[in-house]
Copies of this chain bind each other. A is one copy, B any other.
Amino acid sequence: MWLPHRFKHCSACGAAVEYRVPADDNRERATCTACASIHYQNPINVVGTLPVWGEGADAQVLLCKRAIEPRYGLWTLPAGFLELGETVAEGAARETDEEAGAQIELGPLYCLLNVVKVGQIHLFYRARLLSTEFAPGPETLEARLFREEEVPWDQLAFRTIRETLQRFFEDRRLGRPFALHSADIA
């Protein structure tokens, strides 16, 4: 099975680990050959927002041009890894502040996207921009608003960004209420 990384040593005692199926389990886990500690590896959450300025056909979305790898120079919604000590919504708001310096009112959860092949769950909240002044942080080259026809579809950093933007513009165009979307990214 794919793992984000393979443990070679035990994080408790430093001895070598082996991948084996523990008793009462059905999956291989990194198991210490000395102290028997088991080290589980699980999917990680990426949290962010879809910040929108204006409504209806005038709606514009905020995208950030990445100043870091991976995908340096490509456009993303503000998002990053959820940290210990915060809720999903708090993490999404924090990333929006850190990456774009944008003032927002956080809305409801809009997309839950499974990216199984890299062990990630991407969660995007809708957000209403309270200002068009941005203050991009060190991970962002530029933060700016895009109308639907301006979105750089061939310069987006991740599939989950495309999926989220497509769903937003489609919901808006069809006048649908903005309910939660779930999807799996192959």
Contact = CB atoms under 8 A, between A and B. Distances in A.
- Dominant SS at the A interface? loop
A13 interface: yes
A116 B15 CA distance: 31
Contacts of A8: 11-14
Nearest to A117: B85
Please tell me how many copies of the chain the complex holds. Answer: 2
Given A10-B11, A43-B82, A82-B42, A87 B114 contact: yes
Interface in A1-51: 1-5, 7-17, 24, 27, 30, 39-45
B24 A39 contact: no
Contact of A13 (B9, B15, B119, B182): B9
A89 B182 contact: yes
A49 to B, nearest CB: 14
Contact of A81 (B7, B24, B40, B82): B40
Nearest to A185: B87
Contact of A112 (B5, B40, B109): B109
8 contacts: A5-B12, A10-B14, A27-B83, A41-B84, A42-B81, A85-B119, A87-B116, A179-B179
